[in-house]
Structure 1
Amino acid sequence: MTQPDPRSALIPDQSARVNVATYATYPEAQRAVDYLSDQRFPVERTAIVGEGLKTVEQVTGRLDWGRAATLGFGQGIFIGLFIGLLFGLLGLGGGNLIYAAAYGMVMGALTGLLWSVVGYAMSGGRRDFTSVGGMRAERYVILADAEVAEQARTLLSNLPTR
């Protein structure tokens, strides 16, 4: 027997809910739900649903051996600094916070450099670019339980424009 997903109690089935408003951007939808909350509407009976989802990957530059090494080195420095400071603050860095931070930076930079160059070599030239990605929706729909949908529509009809 399969166990129910524990998140199902937090995210109810949306198919029984009613569309009360549609917005072009997430901040607009978020502002509308915030307005409902300010009006003492039971916002726990609503959901913001992104429709028409697509992934967008913006290419930010070329990736070659030098860039791979530089990115790994730089990321390693910051991760090493964080770990070194953490060890130093916990007294695990030989008792000297500056020594622990410096040691963490050096080890982090070397590890990051090595990890990045090995990863780039293993890619075999199949991904010679850097990018950032994310999800985008064409529209954001506010859904509400059928029993409170008309109240939500009425309140949102009075939502002040900016």
Structure 2
Amino acid sequence: MTSPFSMSARQGGQPKLPTPPSGWPIGCYPTYEEAQRAVDYLAGDDFPVSDVTIVGVDLMLVERVMGKLSWGKVLVAGAVPGAWFGLLIGLLLGLFSQGEGLVYGPVVVGIAAGTAFGVVLAAANFGMNKGKRSFTSTSQLVAGRYDVLCLPRNAERGRDLLAKLALGQPPSTP
């Protein structure tokens, strides 16, 4: 059953379930930035870019280590979100408590309690995992290369335009 607010894949919307990309390859690039530049070039020539898909091939998860964790960093990292959560709870309690205006007691108590709970939870988590993961990192999904695919009806024109891009020629229309 469809709703009036959803688009089926036949109407130009995205498929609802994960599906492999379709189309013919019209370009291959070592970086996402270059593939994006190629699609921008096609768009600059009034190419129907809705027929184009950028596909990352040879995916890898890259984890970049940012630094070593210490007790001080862990406790501060737990205290800050705890204090914010405590502030939110304190403000809500202060707004709905008996009295004139905003009552500051619940706000102060909320911040103090939130900070304490944040520190305790962060310390417990770090203490249980000590030695197993005592560093911070960020993860990123990257591809070994990026293929630009196009539906068959415009693939030949797209390939010709990207050949002009490789030669350094500007798009034919501004």
Task: Give me the TM-score of the superposition, normalised by structure 1.
Answer: 0.72
Amino acid in structure 1 at the alignment position of 2:85: G
RMSD, aligned CA: 3.5
Q: How does 1:142-161 map to 2 (within 5 A)?
A: 142-159=148-165, 160=168
Aligned equivalent of 1:128, options 130, 134, 143: 134
User: What is the CA–CA distance in structure 2 between the aligned matches of 1:161 and 1:120, rounded to whole Å?
Assistant: 56
Aligned equivalent of 1:17, options 5, 15, 23: 23
Aligned equivalent of 2:85, options 76, 80, 83: 80
Aligned residues: 151
Does residue 114 of the first structure (1) align with residue 120 of the second (2)?
yes
Shift of 1:151: 0.9
CA contact (8 A) 2:90 2:108 kept: no
**Structure with larger Rg:** 2
Shift of 1:98: 8.8
User: What is the CA–CA distance in structure 1 between the aligned matches of 2:146 and 2:103, rounded to whole Å?
Assistant: 48
Structure 1 spans left out of the alignment, 5+ residues = 1-5
**Which runs of structure 1 show a deviation greater than 4 angstroms over 4 or more consecutive aligned residues?**
95-108
CA contact (8 A) 1:80 1:101 kept: no
- Tell me the SS of whatever aligns to 2:66: strand
CA contact (8 A) 1:24 1:140 kept: yes
**Where is the helix percentage greater, Structure 1 or Structure 2?**
1
Shift of 1:42: 1.4
Q: Sequence identity of aligned pairs in percent?
A: 34
Equivalence for 1:39: 45
Structure 2 spans left out of the alignment, 5+ residues = 1-5, 96-100
Shift of 1:115: 2.3
Q: Deviations over 1:16-51 (max 9, x none)?
A: 411111112112111211221222211111111111
User: What is the CA–CA distance in structure 2 between the aligned matches of 1:22 and 1:97, rounded to whole Å?
Assistant: 63
User: What is the CA–CA distance in structure 2 between the aligned matches of 1:107 and 1:17, rounded to whole Å?
Assistant: 57
User: What is the CA–CA distance in structure 1 between the aligned matches of 2:127 and 2:7, rounded to whole Å?
Assistant: 40
- Tell me the SS of whatever aligns to 1:137: strand
User: What is the CA–CA distance in structure 2 between the aligned matches of 1:149 and 1:114, rounded to whole Å?
Assistant: 59
Amino acid in structure 2 at the alignment position of 1:57: E
CA contact (8 A) 1:80 1:106 kept: no
User: What is the CA–CA distance in structure 2 between the aligned matches of 1:47 and 1:100, rounded to whole Å?
Assistant: 54
User: What is the CA–CA distance in structure 2 between the aligned matches of 1:110 and 1:40, rounded to whole Å?
Assistant: 59
- Tell me the SS of whatever aligns to 1:40: coil
Q: Are residues 143 and 128 of structure 1, via their aligned partners in 2, closer, same or farther at CA, if it must alter by over 3 Å?
A: same
Task: Give me the TM-score of the superposition, normalised by structure 2.
Answer: 0.68
CA contact (8 A) 1:80 1:107 kept: no
